[in-house]
Amino acid sequence: MSWTPDELVAFVGRVLYEVVGRGLTLDFAFQRVKRGWRRLDSFKVFYDVSFDAVKHYFLLRYLAAKLLGSSGAKAVARAWFIYRADAVLYNRDMVARYRKRLLKRARGSPEEALLSVEELRGDPVRYLSTKYSYHPSIVEALLSNLPREEVERILEAGNATWIWLRINTLRADVDKALKMLEGEAEVEPHPAIPFAVLLRSSRRPVQYLTAVREFVAVPQDLASIYAVLSLRPSPGDRVIDLAAAPGMKTSLIAQLAEGRAKIVAVEFSTKRVYRMKRLLKLLGAADQVEVVRADSRRLRTRRFDKALLDAPCTSSGAFTKEPATKIYPRLEEAARYSRLQRELLVNALTLADEVVYAVCSILPQEGEEVVAAVGGRAEKPHPDLAPSYRGGVGGRTFPHIHRSEAFFISRVTPS
Ligand SMILES: C[S@@+](CC[C@H](N)C(=O)[O-])C[C@H]1O[C@@H](n2cnc3c(N)ncnc32)[C@H](O)[C@@H]1O
């Protein structure tokens, strides 16, 4: 082993400080701390532990305060070691020895501290926020829209990480892709979506799988796949994707239309336009897509059969992928996003006969309320989706039902 547990705990304490103190995403925080660190053969363990510590931050902070008398980043990193090291590190002897050392300074037993979480039950927001490690505002938002038992199931399932792979049939057929994956990973096919598989285990990080490096399989969350399935792209369709970069959904539209749709992909950010052009080429979709840099709020162009509006949003539904959103959900930005989403959707309805509107958000302000405000006819676009918070105006995906991120998806037609 090329690192010591002291060093691991110090590293994770720094990452937590960057995420909690400076509001960085996990990857930014990790890279920042790594840059100032001595060289290691591999930082993989440090990354996995940082990810796990950020994911369980609120519970660990509570336990650190109870057990170690401090809720600072370093104490939280120590609490990670006491409670979570067994689940992530392989070297059992080292874990047991270091844990014992940490517990010498403890104010009680770790089991008692953990049990004391149950004493918070009378305050549902604090209890669920601590037990499952979510910012209280996420718990509050969910509790004001769903029954408590369901909220608890969402929060619990949201602590798992689901990696879905989309077989990119523009590059290879499903059988060939599955053969490529076979030697390196164990996958579970989706029961109803033939080109989607869940990565159960893998001998290497997902981005290093041969099928992924060759763009035969691409990591894409099931919620995103449902957004595109809701559009029902078919050969001959004229489709416009109004918030398109980096082009993951655009390329799935091209795939589902079997390479025979006319697709225009619009993106506001110049930098992201370049990124999208590169990615579409790698995915084998570039010659079917016309890429345009424009503001989709004001775009005037010919009419399309279908539009996809995968709108910019708080990303508050992305907690299964980005654990920092559990600490800083930025829900206070919902009002600004909601205005932008309405403007985008109003214009989208002038451009196409039907619009699929999708957002990675748990908030009705970015979902149900947006489609209700624009005056079109809004409906649930796919039978697999769970009911929306407000009846038939759309549907939702959830981690406890779909093993996916939390999205709102609706089909809106001009009235
Ligand atoms: C949720 S992301 C889209 C992800 C993309 N659909 C995919 O699946 O790869 C939203 C995108 O909308 C872009 N955007 C924001 N405001 C826009 C506007 N007014 N017009 C066009 N694009 C905009 C953002 O730059 C961002 O790339």
Ligand 1 mean position, distance from CA 37 (Å): 35
Residue from 296, 339, 404 to probe ligand 1 pocket by mutation (most atoms less than 8 Å from CB): 296
What is d(CA 288, CA 233) in angstroms, rounded to the nearest whole number? 13
Q: Name the stretches of the chain with pLDDT < 70.
A: 1
Closest CA relative to residue 244, chosen from 222, 269, 220:
269
Q: CA 259 → CA 19, 220, 308, 372, distances in Å?
A: 42, 19, 17, 34
Q: Which CATH architecture has domain 164-219?
A: 2-Layer Sandwich (3.30)
Find all residues with CB under 8 Å of 208, minimum gap 6, and list them: none
Residue 1: per-residue pLDDT: 67
Which residues contact ligand 1 via a Cβ below 6 A? 224, 243-249, 266-269, 272, 295-297, 310, 312
Q: CA 162 → CA 3, 134, 142, 208, 321, distances in Å?
A: 29, 18, 21, 17, 8
Domain 222-413 CATH (choose: 3.40.50.880, 3.40.50.150, 3.40.50.300, 3.40.50.740)? 3.40.50.150
What is d(CA 205, CA 285) in angstroms, rounded to the nearest whole number? 25
Ligand 1 mean position, distance from CA 312 (Å): 5
Ligand 1 mean position, distance from CA 268 (Å): 7
Find all residues with CB under 8 Å of 379, minimum gap 6, and list them: 392, 393, 394, 410, 411, 412
Consecutive H or E run containing 413:
strand 407-413
What is d(CA 71, CA 62) in angstroms, rounded to the nearest whole number? 7
| 248 in Cβ contact with 220 (< 8 Å) | yes
Residue from 221, 225, 275, 310 to probe ligand 1 pocket by mutation (most atoms less than 8 Å from CB): 310
Ligand 1 mean position, distance from CA 346 (Å): 16
Residue 42: per-residue pLDDT: 85
Residue ranges of domains in the chain: 5-122, 164-219, 222-413
Omega cis (within 30) before 246: yes
Ligand 1 mean position, distance from CA 242 (Å): 7
